[in-house]
Amino acid sequence: MASVAFDRVVKRFGAHTVIEDLTLEIEDGEWLVLLGPSGCGKSTLLRMLAGLEDLSAGEIRLDGRVVNRLGPPQRNVAMVFQNYALYPHMTVRENLAFPLRMRRLRRVDRDERIQAAADMLGLGGLLERKPAELSGGQRQRVAMGRAIVREPSVFLMDEPLSNLDARLRAQIRMQIAELQQQLRTTTLYVTHDQVEAMTLGQRVAVMDQGRLQQVAAPLELYQRPANLFVAGFLGNPPMNRWVVQLRADDDRFELGLAGQWIPLPGPPPAEAQYVGLRPEALVPPAPGAPRIRVRVDAVEALGYETLIHFADRQGLDDGAMTARWPTGVELARTGDLVELAPDLAALHWFDRDGRRIAGDGRS
Amino acid sequence: MNGRPILPMIATYLVLLAVTLVFFGPVLFMLVGSLKPDELVLAEAASWRGWVPESVSLENYRSVFERVPFGSYLASSLVINGTIVGLGLVVNAFAGYALARLQWWGREAMLAVVLAILVIPFEAIAIPLFYQLSALGWRDDHLVQAIPFVANPLAIYLFYSFFLGLPKALEEAARIDGAGVFRTFVAIVIPNSRAAFASVAIVTFLFHWGIYLWPLLMTTSESVRPLPLGIATFYTLPPLAWGDILAFGVLMVLPVLVVFVVFQRWFVAGVAATGIKG
């Protein structure tokens, strides 16, 4: 196991900067998820740690040792690729044995480790098969196995579940979570899937356009997004975000939402430029609660919850205004005018640059 | 039948038949002629009888073995082609891989040079090469007929384009698993490139099996001369026997057919993968 440090890392491809001055530390044994949209640089970061890409500037350290100039074989990291990259001409056993043969392990030790990994991942009956004879889920497990047998100091996983269907993905996600408990090896896990990030990461690093946006525990990210990007990227549907409209009368403040005014319990932060509210914080009003009336544009009844999209986009920073209602509330229909009570304790405030000012996100 | 109009189909097959005859006709003529008494080969060439063996005789084949050292020619051809193909696969595969995957200064320029050499016919450099090797005193053996053809720009280009199409993640996985560049190439790339190796081997073998000019320039001893020079000896060996020449031709084609039939499956896969045409 090892700690990992990216220190002011820059990566350019020609004139295009993919990673911009990124600093990030991962503790020994920590499981960190790199989350971000396609093209944000997260896979490039992983590949630089693996030694598959050179750095344009900065340093990468493994256990305090700078590894910039070391080739992939010298770094003792193992990687699970998005397309698994199993060697097609080798059986599962030979695939698992390959990294061990490269390290000149004795045959007895090789067999022992292969058996242990096969038992852990349920690959026992597949050892003599070639990758072409395996299902997607089985290939994925073999790829994990090939990483595990190495007993590397760091695991790198590059969207390892993205080629699987939704059901299998959920199943293997649970298996990976169990493995994580057993192995306790430092792991960098790249994904664009927020469910994977929330369920697997001890910490999640959100990236966009080559920059680190926020590094925090999953719930912290959700409840206290550092900026508008994180607020919009995390959560499905994303946080509703409006440009702040305020009116003040003596020391009473009112916030404009969807063209209507809602009294605030106290003064908003002075620099507030944007305000956000999670869909679950727009609830059917209790008697006497401040409310707004908005017209329903579309309803998605998902069984365990209902998503309601509203037609009124006045003041919205991005996207449509959406509410998430629990099952049991009387269903609205398209075209209905419904009343919503914004949970004012759950407001998120952001400044003109989109940086978080205040709000604890509880809802 | 799947309801296609019959006339266009007949027309299609007639065209295909005509094309087949154009390509296959000379081969058939060679085979039939080799089985005929020598005096009938040319006499019947202009009539339909030229294409039908009336009385099958292996006399011409016996004559070939009596008049020329066929075994020696065949052995020389096999040694020369074996060297060209065997060494060529190693050298050209390495070169193709270096151009496709390794990062080195001048790579693009070298690729351009390889492509440029592709269009230079061997005949254009045969004489300078002849003087160069003669100056070194290197003549009249098997190797001098093979070595100049080992590095082959077409083979390099075919390997290059095949390797470019291999999933890069396989090699990256091997590097991370602890394999160096050479080991990655040997243990991962080569086993997954059998189709490319087979097609390059066949193309190289076919091309050099019939090569004539270079052995003629470089050899004087019969013992090192290959089959194409062997067949030419009949023209200087009176009497001029067409039956013998055709029988020699059949014997010369047989190894090529065997190689092609054995490796056909890989060859077709290789053609699809490397995009060889013609």
DSSP string, B230-244: HHHHGGGSSS--HHH
Would you call A13 an interface residue with chain B, using a CB distance cutoff of 8 Å?
no
Would you call A81 an interface residue with chain B, using a CB distance cutoff of 8 Å?
yes
User: A243, A227 in Cβ contact below 8 A?
Assistant: no
Q: What number is the ipTM of this complex?
A: 0.85
CB spacing of A146 vs B167 below 8 angstroms: no
Residue A73 has its nearest CB partner, among B167, B170, B179, at B179
Q: 3-state class of A256 per DSSP?
A: strand
Query: What are the tens digits of pLDDT across the range A235-259?
Result: 888 999 988 988 888 778 999 888 8
Distance CA B70, CA B225 (A): 10
Mean pLDDT, rounded, for B221-232: 92
How confident is residue B1, by pLDDT bands cut at 50, 70 and 90? very low
CB spacing of A102 vs B175 below 8 angstroms: no
pLDDT at A166: 84
CB spacing of B179 vs A102 below 8 angstroms: yes
Tokens of B216: 């003629």
Q: Is the peptide bond before B239 cis (omega within 30 degrees of 0)?
A: yes
Would you call A132 an interface residue with chain B, using a CB distance cutoff of 8 Å?
no
Residue A87 has its nearest CB partner, among B170, B175, B178, at B170
Q: Which residue ranges does chain A devote to CATH 2.40.50.140?
A: 240-350
Residues of B with CB under 8 A from a CB of A: 167, 169-170, 172-180, 183, 187-188, 191-192
Which residues of chain A have a CB within 8 Å of the CB of B191? Answer: 89
User: A97, A64 in Cβ contact below 8 A?
Assistant: no
Q: What is the dihedral of CA A37, A38, A42, A45, to 10 degrees?
A: -160
Q: Is the pLDDT of residue A362 over 50?
A: no
Nearest to B231 by CA among B73, B78, B81, B82: B73
Q: Are strands A4-13 and A57-62 parallel, antiparallel or unpaired?
A: antiparallel
Q: 3-state class of A277 per DSSP?
A: strand
CB spacing of A52 vs B170 below 8 angstroms: no
* Mean pLDDT of the residues in chain A: 89
Query: What are the tens digits of pLDDT across the range A133-162?
Result: 999 889 999 999 999 998 899 999 999 888
Residue A85 has its nearest CB partner, among B173, B179, B191, at B173
Would you call A93 an interface residue with chain B, using a CB distance cutoff of 8 Å?
no
Which residues of chain B have a CB within 8 Å of the CB of A73? Answer: 175-180
User: A292, A260 in Cβ contact below 8 A?
Assistant: yes
Residue of chain A minimizing CA distance to B190: A89
Which residue, chain included where needed, has tokens 């005193």? B137
Across the A/B interface, how many CB contacts are shorter than 8 Å? 58
Distance CA A300, CA A334 (A): 10
User: A225, A205 in Cβ contact below 8 A?
Assistant: no
Partner residues linked to A355 by β-bridges: A227
- Top CATH class of B64-273 equals mainly alpha
Which residues of chain B have a CB within 8 Å of the CB of A88? Answer: 170, 192
Q: Which residue ranges does chain A devote to CATH 3.40.50.300?
A: 4-233
pLDDT at B50: 73
Q: Which range is least confidently modeled, A104-113, A276-285, A354-363, B202-211?
A: A354-363
- Name the CATH code of domain A240-350 (choices 3.10.580.10, 2.60.15.10, 2.40.50.220, 2.40.50.140): 2.40.50.140
Distance CA B173, CA B160 (A): 20
Interface test with A, best of B172, B176, B182, B184 (most A CBs within 10 A): B176
Which residues of chain B have a CB within 8 Å of the CB of A81? Answer: 169, 172-173
Residue of chain A minimizing CA distance to B174: A99
Which residues of chain A have a CB within 8 Å of the CB of B182? Answer: none
Query: What are the tens digits of pLDDT across the range A66-91?
Result: 999 999 989 999 999 999 999 999 99
Tell me the range of A3-17, A252-266, B55-69 where mean pLDDT is highest: A3-17
Distance CA B259, CA B198 (A): 10
Query: What are the tens digits of pLDDT across the range A161-219?
Result: 888 888 888 888 888 888 888 888 999 999 999 899 998 889 999 999 999 999 999 99
Would you call A83 an interface residue with chain B, using a CB distance cutoff of 8 Å?
yes
Q: Is the pLDDT of residue A15 over 80?
A: yes
First-residue to last-residue Cα distance in chain A:
39
Query: What are the tens digits of pLDDT across the range B253-265?
Result: 998 888 888 777 7
Mean pLDDT, rounded, for B21-36: 88
Q: What is the pTM of this model?
A: 0.82
Q: Would you kindly state where each structural domain of chain B is located, as residue ranges?
A: 6-57, 64-273
Which residues of chain A have a CB within 8 Å of the CB of B101? Answer: none
pLDDT at A260: 87
Query: What are the tens digits of pLDDT across the range B116-148?
Result: 998 888 889 999 999 999 999 998 999 999 999
How confident is residue A17, by pLDDT bands cut at 50, 70 and 90? very high
Residue of chain B minimizing CA distance to A154: B176
Which residues of chain B have a CB within 8 Å of the CB of A72? Answer: 172, 175-176
Distance CA A138, CA A360 (A): 43
Residue B172 has its nearest CB partner, among A85, A103, A146, at A85
pLDDT at B174: 96
CB spacing of A87 vs B173 below 8 angstroms: yes
pLDDT at A86: 95
pLDDT at B272: 59
E strand residue ranges, chain B = none
CB spacing of B178 vs A102 below 8 angstroms: yes
Mean pLDDT, rounded, for B241-260: 89
Which residues of chain B have a CB within 8 Å of the CB of A71? Answer: 175, 180
CATH superfamily of A4-233: P-loop containing nucleotide triphosphate hydrolases (3.40.50.300)
